[in-house]
Every structure is written in C-alpha cells, then in structure tokens.
Amino acid sequence: MQGKDDDDQLRLARRDLLRGAAGLGATALLATVPGAAAMAAEERVKAYGTTTAQLKNWDLMTKSIGVTVDYTPTNSDIGVFMRDVMANDIGDNVDVFFFDGGTQNVLGPQGAYAEIDEKNPELTLWDRTPDAWKRSDLVRFDGKQYGIPVIGNGDCFGYFPEKIGANPNGQDDVSWSVFFEDDRTKGRVAIDRSWLQSLSETANYLNETGKQKIEDVADMPGPVAAKVVDYLVERKKAGQFRTIFTAFEEQVQLLGNKEIDLINCWEPATKEANLKLGPNATIYAFTVEGYYKWLIEATIPVQAAKRANIDTVYKFLNYMLGGEYRAYQAKERGYAGPNMDLGVKYAQDHNWPKEDVELLQYTQTKVDRKYKKPFFCKTTPVHASEMEEEWQRFLNA
Amino acid sequence: MIGNPRLQRLARVDTHQLDQRGRYWRRLSGWSGWGRVGMCLGFFAIAMIYVPIALLALMSISQSPLSGIPYPLTLQHYGTLLSDGRWLLPLQKSVIMGVVVAFTCMLVATLVGRAITRMKRPGGVLIVSLIPLFVPGLTMGAALFIFLRTMLDLKLGLWSIFVAHMVWALPFALLLVLVVASRFDLRLLEAASDLGANNWQRFWQIEFPILRPGIMGAGIFGFLLSFNELLRSIFVRGQETTMPIYNWAMAASQQSQVPIIFALATIILLVTLPVMSIFFWLLFRKAG
Amino acid sequence: MAISTAAAPRRYRSLQLGRLGRLPIVIPGFLVVWSLMVVLPLLVVVAFSFFQVKYYKVVYQPSLDAWISLFTSGRWLVAVRTLRIALTMTAIELFLAFPFGLWLAKGCRSVPLKAFIITLLTIPFFLDPSSRTIVWRAILGSGGLINSGLMHLGVINAPIEWLLYSEFAVHFGMIGSYFPTMVFPIFMIMSLIDDEYLQASADLGASPGQTLVHVIMPLAIPGVMAGIIFTLVPLMAAFVEPQMLGGGFVNLLGDSVDSALRELKYPTAAALSTVVVAILAFCLLVLILMTRKRFDFANMFTATHR
C-alpha cells in the first residue's frame, strides 16, 4: 500500500474502469435501494464496530442530543476489524470506530487513528471522567490518547453456587482452581474457544498460584505459552472440560439448561440465564486470582478528523460519557463504564424503579472491586501469532 | 431412442449369469418394496431437517427460547422483531443479490455448459471451472480480498460481494446444467438442422426445453447459495451488510439475539413455504 | 457385476456435428474471466504461504515458517479429520438420497406432493444454520428431550453424555443439513431417465434389482457424481455443527482457518488450504485411476452422440 498519493489519478481511472466492468449489473440494481441516500441536513454520524457498544434503541440519543447514528455492525473478530481499517480504508466513510481497547497499539502508530482532541468544546464531560478510565493503557499508547472509554468489565466465570459450595449471595472470592482442577466440577466446565481470553486467564491462574512464573500473562512468547497450553492439554485429557464454546447464545444455553456448572462466559450470559432460572441461580464470580479486564473504546479515524462533521462526532462521543448511555448499558448488559454516577443520577431523575437504580450503583461497586485485582487484557499482544499457534495444540489434543 | 446400446447390453443379461448371483440376491432384487424403502429413508432425512425447525418455530413463541421448554407462550419476540427494523435493509440486499446471482448463473452456466459438452477433451476446462469448490470458503475470500483490494486497490462493495458469490455459485450451477446436458442427444439438433431450423430455433425449440430442469436448478441453487453466503462475503463486503453478515455481527452484541432470530426464521419459513411450493408445482406441471 | 456399468461407447463425432450450436467465443472468454476471478487470486494466496506475518503485518521475505508451524502445532491434523468426517457423511447421505431420489423421480406420481417435498428440501437454505443447529442442543443435551425421556422411561439411570459434544453429535446434526444437496442432482438425473427404458427392461424379463443395477445406475452416474461433489464440498467447509455439537472437541478445517485469519495470518491459512486442495486432488486422482477401466471421467459430461 505504498505510494498512495503519487498516482491517485491513475488509480481512480483504473478503479472506475474495473468497477464499471465487473459490477455494472449489481451496482445499478442496488443503487435504487432506499436508505443509502437520504442525507438530510440533520446531524449524522457514521459508526462502525462491534455491536456491544450499541444501544438497543438509538432513538433515545437522537431525542436527547439531536444526533442520528448509522451503525454498521461487525463481529468482535479482530482480524476482520484490523483488515477493514488497515487494508479496506473503511475510515474513508466512517466517523467513529468501536472496538476492544488495545487496537491503538497497532493502528495508532500506523496512522489509522487520530489522536483524541481533549479540548474539543463538545467534549464537555472529559475533564470529569476519572483517570482510571480515560488514562487506561487500553485507550492510550506511547503517551498518546487514541481512544475514549465506552464500556468495560472484568471477565471471569459464571457458576452455580450450590455446585461448588459457595455462598449463594455471590459475594465470595472464588478461586479459579474450581474452574481448572476441582474434582467436584470435573467434566462440568465449559471453556471459551477464544485463546485471547482463555489462555491468558489460565496463565494468570498459574502465575498467581505460583504454579508457573509468567511475566506478562496477556502477552506470552511461544515457549511460555507452550507451558500454559501443556497444562491445559493435561486438564483436557483429564476430562475437566465438558465443552469448548464459541457464541454468546451457547453461553446462555449452557447455563440455562444446566449443561455445565462453570463457564468462563460474559457477564450478560448469567443475566440471561437467571431470567429463566430465577434470580441469583447463576452467579458471575468474584475471584481470588483476578480478571480479564477489558473495555470497548471509541476511536476516530484520521480521515474523519478533517471532515466537517467532526464536532458532531465529539458530541456523539460525549454522549457516551454521559448518564443516559451509561444507565441503559448497565441496565441492559450489566457493564460499567466511566461516570457511573451520572448514570445513577439519570435513572433517579427519570424515575426508574428503585431496583434498577440500585443495580446501577451495584454495577459500580462491583467493577471497582474487580479492578483492584490483576490483570488487564491485551487485544493485540505482540506474541499473538505464537499464542494462537500454541492454542491449536489445545484444540487438537 | 431405438437401438440404444444400453438396451442391447441389457438383452445380454442371460440366465446363466443370474444363477451365479445366488438366491438371496435374486429374492432381494425381485422384491418390489424398494420404492417404499427409498421413501422411508428420505422421510427420515427430512425429519432430521424439520425436527429442529419445528422446535425452533415453537420456541419462537415461548418465553425463553433456548431452554427447550415451550411454556409460557408469548408473542413478544415478534413485537421486538417488528419494532427493530435494522434487519430489513440487509434482508433486502440479500434477496436482490440472490436474484441477480441466480439469473447470471442461469445465463453463464447455460452458455458454458453447452459449450463444454461439445468439447473433445472437456476435462481441463471442467476442473478449472470447479476449482473454487475445493478451496475453503475463508481462503477463497482472503484470496479475493488480497487480489481485489491489496493488489488492484479497488473499492469493495456490492459488486465484489457479487463476484464472490458468483465464484461460489457458478460451479454448482454449471454442474447442474452439465448433468442434464450430458443426457442430451446431439442427433436431435442434426435432425432439426436437416429440417431447416436455424441456430436460434435449434436452441430455443429443441435444446432449451430439454435443458430447462438444469437451468432452473442452476437458478435456484444460485439464489440459495448467494442468500446464505457468509465466509467469502465477510472479506469483500466493503461496508455492505447482507443478512448473513448481519446475523454474524449481531452474535457479538452480548445480548441474546436468539428470540429475534427464531422469530425471523419462523416468518421466513411461513413466507417461503407456500411461495416455493407454488413455484415448484408450476415448474413440475409445466415439465410433466 | 459382470456387465460393464458405464463405459460409454466410443463416440463417433463428425466435425460438422461438433459445431452444432456452438459459440466459439464462450469457452475462451469464460476461461479468461474465470482466471481473473479465481485462478489468479488463488495463486497469489499460495504465494502468500511463503511469507511471514509479524505483529499483524505481512513481512515480504521468503520463509517456510507457515509450513513448518503447520506441522509443529498439529494444525495439519484438522485437514485429515475434516476429510474423514466429510467422506463419512457423504457416504451416509448417498445411502439415504439415492433410493429417495429414485423414488421421488419415478415412484412418486403426484405432482403436488413432489413439489412439496422439493420445497421442504429447499427451505433450510433460507434459515440461519446456527439457529437450526442450536436447537439440537436442547434435544441432545444431558437434560435434553432424549435423555430426560429415556430416564423417565427407566431405560437409563444417568444421562448419556456422548449424545452431545462428540463426533456422534456432529454426524447426527449433519444428516439433515447436507441431505438436500445430495438429493437434487440425483433426483434430476433420475427424472431424465426415460420411462421407456425401465419398461423395456421389465419387458425383457429383468427384475427390479437388475433394472436398477444395469439400467438406472449407469445412467445416473453424472447425477450421483454431482451429488457427491455438492455434498462433499460444503462438508469440507462445515463449521456450525462441529462448533455447536462437537463442543470444540471436533476441531475442523473451517475453524482452524478462521482462527488463523483472526490474527491476520494469511500465510498459515494459505498453507493449510493448499494442503487441503492437495489432499482432495490426490483423492480424485486415485479415484480416476481406480475406475479408469470402467468409467471415463473426462467425458462424463459430454453430450451423447452415437
């Protein structure tokens, strides 16, 4: 992709020609699809990213701040996201990206992301946003601010308290040992197929319990990862795991049908399962050894930083630091984020039921408690390639 | 059809040979219940398709769809689905794309299929045209992406999705046309030629009616394969969202989409069942 | 089976007949477009397997790393496992679909019923495969319909664990999904067999079994071959059933490629795919050599002209 600027004219001509030849029929037919056009004078932002950051209903926002958003959804597949940003120049048409914090380690230095303009007049809530969120390594790289934190959590596992003899109120600090090597849970554990999560959680457990000495559990060179995978293979052969799951729906179903006792799922899965099984039937754990702490960041592509609607973009981002967005995200998914106090205030002002308000307050204490433990995830570990390769041994064992 | 060598061969099946086969085989081969066995095997397989689909439809009207227990019943998921509306545009794009791919498949498969059956050594062309079948979908997608985007530096979009779908669907369409075309007797054209028919008449009045099941099959497969295509589309989508891409993206939303997806599947089922039934009925009635 | 099953008679063809209805531009034109759309991109990807990816960027230096790690990580095993399962399933589907296709084409006389059955076989393509498959889990799971039913009846005391998250479950779930693609071509070719042939065969005193072996089977070979290809190919790419029903213990090709591409490891994905294509090509070659005496693959799809 070098020499981008020198023969732009040529490029354009060739592009038009080929496009015309290859896609004539399809393009002509589909150009008539409504919705693609209709760009009115209203304030409009185009977003692209993982659906976790989406509100169930964006009309709420349009009503509050007058901004409309076109949201192109993508999966949490990092390969697809990186490719779209790096090779597909998706920033040409998009104003904001939403993805797991950490991508700026690669895409920041490459010049795909613009630095956040902390002084933009529309970003009114930035100064009051706590440093724990806005200065996190997951939104910064090399001393530069690339991202705005949107939501986050510490991931661990969900469990049925009676199966492991834990306090049913869910306030115990449970050790990851019940997940990896407890005889009571043998053959009753589901582990995530994503190595980013499962491998570093295992490494953290081994490191914290002193079984192995690992420098950075979220970013391991080949030989270090190999030892962790050896341990996992041994556990797999011993029959510890019932299944290796992939999708969110699987998590919900595994819990809801009591197919397993423990699962390193996402927190909303326990919420969904409890809708069926009753309150606190499954519990999302507090752990002894630590959490896979992540957050979703909003970033601005360099192309967008020069566009006319950049102030609208900041208005949109500011909304995500505010109370309404916070309150609804916490209610719908149980995820925290910066400025939860504003979320609580919003809920009180809008006469939300008392339980809902308490839930928001609890979400805050919960995340504070989790964030005191190790460890932060890395979305783009330097040793990603070797870790992925080692993980294949676990899958094929 | 008279003087067919296969029938002559058949006539050579003599009793001597049959005696060698043994009694058991003779009894089995003379048994007329084979039709029923075939029917039962097929109905078993169809049941294997429809047990989950029926359950899915049932679950779409129950409170917690993933549990396997239908009660309590509710229509709320349909309400959620209809008030959502984000899936409408992707669905529309998928349907239009499917139709365009289907017609292109019919046209190209007919042209190329006819030409292949008239070649002396079609093996090479056949293998080249079937290559995409043997390459894993994601790899084919990656190949198209690297080639179109990284090397040719084109802007990807619906046209590249169309290319990817054609690469996937055309080999199937071609095979279907070939299956029918291989049963086609070229002497019919010779006869027509002798009777003074021109090229177009020979094709339209003689060849086309015989090839029609294959061409129709090519269109149907083209549509279905395109409508379902995900692996290649992910790579060449640009910023377009088709129905499978939409479902794929929503899987990461950390909110259960199953109630909505089940409801949508049920609606699609209820719409396509009568439409396709009538379509096939008309098709068969015409052909029969 | 003393009588040769197929062995198309040596075809006599005059120059003039070969030209009937033939547009000379079609094949070269098609080959050019197809080379651009398929062959060239694939060659590029194969070339990529000799590069390296470091920290999400392709390093354009020749290297065998992707190929070496394919074997050290045991990744190549998925190619073999995938092929094994795909072939087994293709055989099962053929066993189910051949008799059914025959019955549907020749035994089923009611046009509305025929149309309805074909519709039933078409509908699954419209429905999201993940949601179809996830339902099986509620049926096969340890607290699912089958286990709880059997336990209720007292047949078993403890749930049968291998019903779900096993190779059995994967095969079981695939039966329905890959049946239609096998039926369609077989049904089509059976429909094209002239009833007169069957009648003549019966008139000559052949039993139904003999008609099947000596008349129907030879004529049906192109359809059966198409059916095998139609079924084997999607099976090689299967990922929904192995993921959802195999519980991650049945790691197949599609998943492995996906995992590599998530880290933008194009070289690994390319090398793995090359291995698959090589294995398939090898199988095809063996098949052609084994059946060379009986059956001429190259001319299978040549228009009849006697």
Q: Strand locations in B188-280, DSSP E?
A: none
Among chain A residues, the shortest Cα distance to B258 is held by A249
Q: What is the pLDDT of residue A203?
A: 95
Residues A188 and A280 grouped into a single domain: yes
Does a structural domain hold residue A17? no
- The SS3 of residue C252 is coil
Residues A380 and A254 grouped into a single domain: yes
Among chain C residues, the shortest Cα distance to B132 is held by C38
Does a structural domain hold residue A6? no
The residue written with tokens 């009694």 in the block is B23
Q: Choose the closest CB to C237 out of B121, B129, B136.
A: B136
Q: Do C9 and B114 touch (CB under 8 A)?
A: no
Among chain C residues, the shortest Cα distance to B53 is held by C132
Does a structural domain hold residue C12? no
Residues A180 and A253 grouped into a single domain: yes
Q: Do C126 and B269 touch (CB under 8 A)?
A: yes
pLDDT at A148 over 90: yes
Q: What are phi and psi of B32, to 5 degrees?
A: -95, 5
The residue written with tokens 């093996």 in the block is B123
Return the top range by mean pLDDT from B10-14, C221-225, C282-286: C221-225
Looking at the DSSP bridge assignments, the partners of residue A299 are A97, A147
CATH number at residue C224: 1.10.3720.10
Task: Tell me the per-residue pLDDT of C205-229, one tens digit each, with 9 for 90 and over.
Answer: 777 777 888 888 888 888 898 898 8
**Non-local CB neighbours of C160 within 8 Å, separated by 6+ positions:** C142, C146, C147, C150
- The SS3 of residue C276 is helix
Among chain B residues, the shortest Cα distance to C171 is held by B48
Looking at the DSSP bridge assignments, the partners of residue A292 are A155
Does a structural domain hold residue C53? yes
Q: What is the pLDDT of residue B228?
A: 84
- The confidence band for C168, taking pLDDT boundaries of 50, 70 and 90, is very high
Distance from CA of A282 to the nearest CA of B (A): 15
Q: Do A257 and C73 touch (CB under 8 A)?
A: no
Residue C217 at interface with chain B, using a CB cutoff of 8 Å: no
Q: Do C26 and B111 touch (CB under 8 A)?
A: yes
Residues A146 and A225 grouped into a single domain: no
Asked if residues C301 and C224 have their Cβ atoms less than 8 Å apart, the reply is no
Walk me through the domains of chain B, giving residue ranges and CATH numbers.
87-287 (1.10.3720.10)
Q: Could you list the residue range(s) of the whole structural domain that residue C256 is in?
A: 24-299
Rounded distance between C-alpha atoms, residue C55 and residue A78, angstroms? 13
Least Cα distance to C258 among C279, C244, C276, C272 occurs for: C272
Does a structural domain hold residue C117? yes
Does a structural domain hold residue C204? yes
Q: What is the ipTM of this complex?
A: 0.80
The total domain count for chain C is: 1
Residues A267 and A386 grouped into a single domain: yes
Does a structural domain hold residue A30? no
DSSP A166: -
Does a structural domain hold residue A25? no
Q: What are phi and psi of A152, to 5 degrees?
A: -165, 170
Q: Could you list the residue range(s) of the whole structural domain that residue A227 is in?
A: 157-290+376-396
Residues A181 and A202 grouped into a single domain: yes
The residue written with tokens 């690297």 in the block is B146
Q: Do A396 and C53 touch (CB under 8 A)?
A: no
The total domain count for chain A is: 2
pLDDT at B20 over 60: no
Task: Tell me the per-residue pLDDT of A94-147, one tens digit each, with 9 for 90 and over.
Answer: 999 999 999 999 999 988 999 999 999 999 999 999 998 999 889 999 999 999
Does a structural domain hold residue A369? no
Asked if residues C240 and B47 have their Cβ atoms less than 8 Å apart, the reply is no
Residues A120 and A205 grouped into a single domain: no
- The confidence band for C1, taking pLDDT boundaries of 50, 70 and 90, is very low
Q: Do B67 and A48 touch (CB under 8 A)?
A: no
Residues A195 and A344 grouped into a single domain: no
Interface test with A, best of B148, B231, B256, B260 (most A CBs within 10 A): B256
Residues A106 and A194 grouped into a single domain: no
Return the top range by mean pLDDT from A187-196, A327-336, B65-74, C57-66: A187-196
Mean pLDDT of B72-95: 84
Q: What is the pLDDT of residue A24?
A: 39
Q: What are phi and psi of C99, to 5 degrees?
A: -60, -35
Which amino acid does the sequence have at B179?
V
Among chain B residues, the shortest Cα distance to C10 is held by B5
The per-residue pLDDT of chain C, averaged, comes to: 81
Does a structural domain hold residue C9? no
Residues A392 and A274 grouped into a single domain: yes
pTM for this model (two decimals):
0.81
Q: What is the pLDDT of residue B102?
A: 95
Q: Do B160 and A23 touch (CB under 8 A)?
A: yes
Residues within 8 A of C (CB atoms), B 171-230 only: 172, 175-176, 178-187, 189-190, 193, 199, 202-203, 207, 213-214, 217, 220-221, 224-225, 227-228
Residue C15 at interface with chain B, using a CB cutoff of 8 Å: no
Q: Do B44 and C180 touch (CB under 8 A)?
A: no
Lowest-confidence region among A192-201, C89-98, C296-305: C296-305
Q: What are phi and psi of B250, to 5 degrees?
A: -65, -20
In this complex, the chains that touch A, judged by 3 or more CB pairs closer than 8 A, are B, C
Q: What is the pLDDT of residue C302?
A: 63
Give the burial class of B265: count Cβ atoms within 10 A of its Cβ; 0-12 exposed, 13-18 middle, 19 or more buried: buried
Q: What is the pLDDT of residue C8?
A: 39
Distance from CA of C301 to the nearest CA of B (A): 5
Task: Tell me the per-residue pLDDT of C50-78, one tens digit each, with 9 for 90 and over.
Answer: 988 888 877 788 888 888 888 888 888 88
Q: What are phi and psi of A387, to 5 degrees?
A: -65, -40
Asked if residues A230 and A237 have their Cβ atoms less than 8 Å apart, the reply is no
Six-digit token string for A319: 């909304």
Task: Tell me the per-residue pLDDT of A259-277, one tens digit each, with 9 for 90 and over.
Answer: 899 999 998 899 888 888 8
Q: What is the dihedral of CA C202, C204, C210, C212, to 10 degrees?
A: -50
Does a structural domain hold residue C139? yes
Among chain C residues, the shortest Cα distance to B246 is held by C128
Q: Do A54 and B160 touch (CB under 8 A)?
A: no
Asked if residues A190 and A242 have their Cβ atoms less than 8 Å apart, the reply is yes
Q: Do B67 and A276 touch (CB under 8 A)?
A: yes
Give chain C positions within 8 Å (CB) of A277.
none
Does a structural domain hold residue C92? yes
Give chain C positions within 8 Å (CB) of A77.
262
- The confidence band for B252, taking pLDDT boundaries of 50, 70 and 90, is low
Task: Tell me the per-residue pLDDT of C245-257, one tens digit each, with 9 for 90 and over.
Answer: 888 778 888 888 8
CATH number at residue A283: 3.40.190.10
